[in-house]
Amino acid sequence: MKSDRQLAKYLANLGYGSRKEVEAAIRRGRVTGEGESLRFDGEPVDPAPGMVILMNKPAGFTCSRQDQGNLVYELLPPRYLKRTPALSTVGRLDADTTGLLLFTDDGKLLHKLISPKPGTPKTYEATLARPLEGHEAELFASGALMLRGEDKPLLPATLQITGERTARLTITEGRYHQVRRMFAAAGNHVEALHRASFGPLILGDLPEGEWRLLSAEEISALA
């Protein structure tokens, strides 16, 4: 069992207020239970450090804490921004890209998932400005495609054509605006982009702009 001082520090690190504010909340009886049944104002306390959040990111939101305009962190409870260790996005989706976005406060997991080394497959659904010409799948799978301004070819990627101007692309790297630049290199332009999966994770029926906590099993599958 944690002492009141230890409990106050723990809750302050979860973003429930400053140490003094949490100590006052404890004295007033706003903190009840212990262990897995710990509650703050009657609500279950947020997960301990090591949590992972899956969000269905809407268009128009930036993966930043400081940029102007709408920020993805604004879609989470405000106290999540006060957590220690800090909560970070796992990589970035640009403002116009929608779909599966992860957040975590686990630095080791974050480093693994955003490592430049070939790793977690990510699948994107693209809507293009012009009809596909039929050569794109072979080009992307070749392992020889060079993006403008780079000196190392892309690893092979898998393209599935789903319509005249739509396709599903799976990549294992995370270079800057990679999917958009790949289609540009093939002579086309991405009008809309949606990330449908990240490794074993899929969005399922999670509504746009909503989020959920990953289970321990889902986190283990990522790690």
Active site residues: 94
Per 3-state DSSP, the chain is made up of helix, strand and coil in percentages (nearest 5) of 25, 25, 50
CB contact burial 58-94 (16+ within 10 A = b; e otherwise): bbebbbeeeeeeebbbebeeeebebbeeebbbbbbbe
* CA nearest neighbour of 22 among 1, 32, 7: 7
Q: What is the crossing angle of helices 4-13 and 19-27, to 10°?
A: 130
Q: How many CA atoms lie within 13 A of 27 on its CB side?
A: 7
Phi-psi region of 199 (alpha: psi -120 to 50; beta: other; left: phi over 0): left
SS3 assignment for 27-81: HCCCEECCHHHCEECCEECCCCCCCEEEEEECCCCECCCCCCCCEHHHHCCHHHH
CB 196 within 8 A of CB 124: yes
* CA nearest neighbour of 185 among 209, 216, 222, 154: 154
